[in-house]
Structure 1
Amino acid sequence: MTAPTYYAPTGGLPPQTQLLTDRAMFTEAYAVIPKGTFSDIVTSFLPFWDKARFWVLSRPLSGFAETFSQYIAEVMPGGGSDRPETDAGVEAVLFVVGGTIRVTIDGTGHDLSEGGYAYIPPGTAWSLRNTGDAAARFHWIRKAYQAVDGLDAPDPVVANERDIAPTPMPDTDGAWATTRFVDPADLRHDMHVTIVTFQPGGVIPFAETHVMEHGLYVLEGKAVYRLNQDWVEVEAGDYMWLRAFCPQACYAGGPGPFRYLLYKDVNRHMPLNR
């Protein structure tokens, strides 16, 4: 089995000679942010981070997707933060796509390299440093935790996808599989971040139409993805952002695996008092 690969942006700026025609689109049901838009001039800086910049992929928008934000962080050697999160009650998932970071969670340090995953519960003290000699790049997914009376907050989770066997979807002969970092039956969690893998020819064989919002970052390969009524070509480095009930399906044409990092909100009643 070929080792997984992880696309990560490096910035830069397109030349003045480049055509403006692009695959970027924002609709009432979904957005596509192709890899070519991740330039230097669309990065953000955040309080209490040093030697770091961030590509903001999604943020809560009224009338669109409202449950989460997602960044790609680029941290230079020695950089990081001793106070990365400034909002109370926020949980986080980190997923490393390049370089090495050391994440300290409640006083315990963890070294994460490519494929490394960390779930950080709400209200948890944590810090992060790039301990390598090259830029580190990782996804940072943030969500306001929805506490439920009678359920404890989840525990921290640190793992690497290379140590977890993907779970094949039923009746697919392994053409469609999901790598899960937490137990889907653990109702303490109100979000899941997984890796979905399609082998060449693998499909989502129906138009999924459901309440979960999605962020999908393509780690590897290419495919055609149905978003609402449109079929869109996507490749490694592209990001898709879907609001609730946006129909979706997929066909992976090859020649290699098509893999994406997937966010979805789960395990909670629908809020009625707004």
Structure 2
Amino acid sequence: MAASYASPPAGHPGQMALHTGRAVFTEAYALIPQGVMRDIVTSYLPHWRDSRLWIIARPMSGFAETFSQYIVEVAPGGGSERPEPNAEAEGVLFLVDGQVTLTIDGNAHSLKEGGYAFLPPGCQWSLVNRSTAPARFHWVRKRYEVVDGVDIPPAFVANEQDEPIRWMPDTGDTWGTTRFVDPADIRHDMHVNIVTLEPGAVIPFEETHVMEHGLYVLEGKAVYRLNRDWVEVEAGDFMWLRAFCPQACYAGPQRFRYLLYKDVNRHAKLPF
């Protein structure tokens, strides 16, 4: 099945649009609907030319503290030779629209829709849009947690359309995950995966766990349990969950897919 990926509508709603959006920020989760990702809420970054971005998550004390997530739009000819200012930051890029050339430690890679790249801390990378149309991609950033005796994982490039969906047991191949990293690979302290639920599939219990989450809906719609609330979500929406926020899901009438961030494979930090 050909993949499709939502991205922000941009532009600006008309003055006659009804103020009936679903945006909410609570003590346990935030929902940023696709309809509020407009021109007026974009940002710009140093050393990025002809580019803008929607910042949809950032570390916040007392909420989700481990990651940031951007949706970056790069115009033709735009990009950056100095994209990442923090030598301790690792990143994942996931392309949802257009194509870009990503150069990692001197090696050029062409990323098209569905393209995925892991960028370890300290690697040298740059990105340019050499096409004639804008490109959009997610950029997830996290401060890498170094562990004595554990190697930093190398950079790699993939495409989700070439990767299998690994179905959960006893679900009849209706709920599964596209993984880009072996869950047992202790070198990685974050996973950015794609979760797929076929029409009518469910997450049949309230997951409650230490991992923080960013969930960007790539396709379809569903009713999603967030803490105490059942919330309707659709393609282009972003759900931002702090640790231990209960979650579950009933997928809608079409395939429901989302890009998922979670922090993994490290001890809980203890106060000094």
Judge same fold: TM > 0.5, yes or no: yes
Structure 1 residue aligned with 2:48: 49
Residue 267 of structure 2 corresponds to which residue in structure 1?
Answer: 269
Quote the Cα distance in structure 1 between the aligned partners of 2:131 and 2:169. 40
Matches within 5 A, 1:113-152: 113-152=112-151
> What is the alpha-carbon distance in structure 1 between the residues aligned to residue 271 and residue 121 of structure 2?
23
**Residues in 2 aligned to 1:229 and 1:199: alpha-carbon distance in whole angstroms:** 24
> What residue in structure 2 maps to residue 107 of structure 1?
106
Q: Which amino acid in structure 1 is aligned with residue 149 of structure 2?
A: G
Q: Percent identity?
A: 67
Matches within 5 A, 1:1-274: 2-254=1-253, 256-273=254-271
Q: Which amino acid aligns with 1:146?
A: E
Shift of residue 253, structure 1, vs aligned partner: 2.1
Q: Secondary structure at the match of 1:132?
A: coil
Distance across 2 between alignment mates of 1:257 and 1:4: 10
Letter in 1 for 2:262: K
Conservation of the 8 A alpha-carbon contact between 2:81 and 2:125: yes
Q: Deviations over 1:77-135 (max 9, x none)?
A: 01000000011200000000000011101111110000000000001110000121100
SS in 2 for 1:9: coil
| Deviation at residue 214 of structure 1 after TM alignment | 0.1
Q: Which amino acid aligns with 1:81?
A: S
**1:10 CA displacement:** 3.9
How does the TM-score come out when normalised to structure 1?
A: 0.98
Q: Distance in 2 between matches of 1:241 and 1:189?
A: 21
Specify the SS of the correspondent of 1:41.
helix
* Structure 1 residue ranges, 4+ long, deviating more than 3 angstroms after superposition: none
> In 2, distance between residues paired with 1:138 and 1:201?
29
C-alpha deviations, 1:176-214, integer Å up to 9, x for none? Answer: 010001111110000000000000111101000000000
Residue 273 of structure 1 and its aligned partner are, at CA, apart by: 3.1
Q: Distance in 2 between matches of 1:20 and 1:253?
A: 25
1:205 and 1:228 map into 2 onto residues whose CA distance is 15
* 1:22 alignment partner, SS class: coil
Structure 2 unmatched runs, 5+: none
For the residues of structure 2 that align with 1:4 and 1:250, how far apart are their CA atoms? 21
C-alpha distance in structure 1 between counterparts of 2:252 and 2:90, whole Å: 36
Structure 2: distance between partners of 1:7 and 1:158: 21
Distance 2:131 2:236 in 1: 23
Where structure 1 has 5 or more consecutive residues not aligned to the other structure, the ranges are: none
> Aligned partners of 2:164, 2:87: CA distance in 1, in Å?
34
TM-score (norm 2): 0.99
